[in-house]
Each structure stands twice: as C-alpha cells, then as structure tokens.
C-alpha cells in the first residue's frame, strides 16, 4: 500500500497508471451496474410492506454509502496534504468533492422520493436525512473554498483543514441531530430498512454497492487526471508570463 502510494506520487507515473486502468474499470463498472440494475428491477421481489418502492433502496443505499466514503477519502487526503505532503493528495481531495456531493445529492433525492409514499410528504426532518443534508452543505462549502482560492497550493491546504474540521464535526453533528430528532419527533419515524434483510434483496444491493464503488473510483481517477492536466496547463502559462516579463514586456 505504502509502496504503491509513494510509487504513484510522481504525476507522470500516475497519469500512465490512470490511463492503463481506466478502460478496464469502465468495463467493470458497466458490467456490475448493468447486472445490479437488472437484479434490482427485474429479479428482486417487491417488498410485502413497501411494494415496488423498495427498489429505490438499491440506488439510495449505495449513494449514501459513497457519500460518506467520499468524505472519508477527502479527509484522509487532507491528512495526506498536511502531514505526509503527498503531491497528489490535494488533487485526490479536489477530484473527490464534486463526486461525493453528487452522490450525497442522489441519496437525498432518492431518500425523499422513497419517503413520499411512506411519510406522505417529500421531506421530513428525519435524523438520517438531516445529517445527510448537513453533509451536503459541508461538501458545498469545500467546493466553494476550492473555487475561491486561485493558487492550488493554498487551496489544497485550506480545503484539507476544512475537511478535517468537518470530519471531527460530523460525529458531533450526527449525535446532536439524533438528540434534536428524538426531542421533536418521538418514535414516529419509520426506520428505513430493517434489522434484517432477505437475501433476495441483499444480493442486488451488494452488486449495486460494488458497481457504485467501482463507478466512483473510475470517476475519481478521471477527475484526478483532468486536474493534473489542468495544473500543467496553468504552469506552462505562468512560465510564458515570466518569460515575457524577462524580455521586457
């Protein structure tokens, strides 16, 4: 693990690696997602209680899982930027943020669509939904911070600090939202999913989760590659400006 991470620290080597891996990952994602969608929509039986709406779960749960996974990845990348000074850590974090935000948004939308037939309304301030909403706001903050700072070095370090501050805060937010929720909506919330899941539902869920994860890694690699290339263009432009200044422009 350490070997491969240090090995890939060189951007050029990373670009080669990404170029080699991306096609096969894309193929794998297509296969897994295709199989997952088929299983979810045609094989899995409708739930005896929730009916056909249970199928939303196959999108919702993997999205929620990746929403959190992406944040953890950003926080670890933040450590990489600040402590190990890994040259690709901030690229990784920057690339992961919009993808993570998208999955969070997907989880929110599917959650509220799922909630409509169950709660009779699109939005309830359910503890899980609310925590997800706060997570989404944290993502927006991260992305906004990246947009606002032009110099990539400073942007990376500032975002790393914000990501770590958020990582420390997320458990506290989660806990306090639970407190708030039980205070205001005692036991009226129908829990999403149950303690046990039948295997006929579990198999499609696992396949979908795997497919989403591969999709995430694929998108992440592509976004990282784009970011590295963007920085190279920027550096070239700066050299141009500097040379123009030397020749008396």
Q: Is residue 138 near other proteins by the rule CB under 8 A?
A: yes
Pick from 53, 141, 203, 222 the residue near other proteins by CB under 8 A. 141
Residue 82 as a binder of other proteins (CB under 8 A): the answer is: yes
Other beta carbons within 10 Å of 117: 12
Taking the least distance from each CB to other proteins, the nearer of 119 and 174 is 174
Instruction: Identify whether the C-beta of residue 19 lies closer than 8 Å to the C-beta of residue 229.
Output: no
- The least CB distance from residue 206 to other proteins, in Å, is 32
End-to-end, the C-alpha distance of the chain in Å comes to: 49
The DSSP symbol for 9 reads T
Closer CB to other proteins, residue 33 or residue 177?
A: 177
User: Binding-site residue total for other proteins (CB under 8 A)?
Assistant: 38
Q: How far is the CB of 35 from other proteins (least distance, A)?
A: 37
Rounded distance between C-alpha atoms, residue 65 and residue 37, angstroms: 17
74 part of the interface to other proteins, by CB under 8 A: no
Closest to other proteins by CB, 13 vs 231, is 231
Minimal distance, residue 132 CB to other proteins, in Å: 12
CA dist., res. 225 & res. 8, Å (int): 13
Which residues in the 229-248 window bind other proteins by CB under 8 A?
231, 234-235, 238-239, 242, 245
Cβ(121)–Cβ(185) below 8 Å: no
Q: Which of residues 17-36 bind other proteins (CB under 8 A)?
A: none
Distance, in Å, from the CA atom of 125 to the CA atom of 202, rounded to the nearest integer, reads 27
Distance in angstroms (rounded) separating the CA atoms of residues 20 and 39? 30
Q: Considering the complex, what minimum distance in angstroms separates the CB of residue 185 from other proteins? A: 14
Report in angstroms the alpha-carbon separations of 133 from 9, 63, 241.
34, 13, 44
CA 166 from centre of chain? 14
Q: How far is the CB of 212 from other proteins (least distance, A)?
A: 25
Q: Output b/e per residue, 12-40; b: 16+ Cβ within 10 A.
A: eebbebbeeeeeebbebbeebbebbbebb
Q: Binding segment for other proteins among 45-53, 133-141, 190-198, 201-209 (CB under 8 A)?
A: 133-141
Residues 147-206 interacting with other proteins (rule: CB under 8 A): 148-149, 151-154, 157-158, 161-162, 164-166, 168-169, 172-173, 175-177, 179-180, 183
Query: Residue 85 CB: number of other CB atoms within 10 A?
Result: 11
Positions touching other proteins (CB under 8 A) are: 82, 134, 137-138, 140-141, 144-145, 148-149, 151-154, 157-158, 161-162, 164-166, 168-169, 172-173, 175-177, 179-180, 183, 231, 234-235, 238-239, 242, 245
């Amino acid at each position: 693990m350490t070997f491969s991470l240090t090995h890939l620290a060189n951007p050029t080597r990373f670009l080669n690696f990404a170029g080699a891996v991306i096609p096969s990952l894309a193929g794998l994602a297509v296969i897994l997602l295709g199989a997952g969608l088929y299983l979810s929509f045609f094989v899995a039986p409708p739930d005896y209680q929730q009916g056909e709406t249970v199928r939303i779960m196959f999108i919702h749960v993997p999205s929620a899982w990746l929403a959190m996974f992406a944040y953890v990845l950003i926080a670890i990348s933040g450590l990489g930027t600040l402590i190990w000074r890994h040259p690709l850590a901030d690229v990784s974090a920057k690339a992961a943020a919009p993808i993570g935000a998208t999955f969070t948004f997907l989880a929110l939308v599917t959650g509220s669509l799922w909630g409509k037939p169950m709660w009779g309304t699109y939005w309830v301030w359910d503890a899980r939904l609310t925590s997800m909403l706060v997570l989404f706001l944290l993502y927006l903050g991260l992305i906004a911070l990246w947009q606002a700072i032009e110099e990539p070095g400073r942007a990376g370090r500032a975002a790393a600090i914000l990501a770590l501050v958020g990582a420390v805060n997320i458990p506290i937010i989660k806990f306090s939202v639970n407190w708030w929720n039980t205070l205001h909506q005692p036991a009226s919330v129908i829990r999403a999913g149950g303690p046990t899941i039948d295997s006929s539902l579990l198999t499609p869920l696992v396949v979908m989760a795997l497919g989403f994860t591969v999709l995430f890694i694929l998108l992440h690699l592509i976004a990282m590659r784009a970011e590295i290339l963007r920085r190279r263009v920027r550096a070239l432009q700066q050299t141009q400006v500097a040379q123009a200044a030397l020749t008396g422009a």
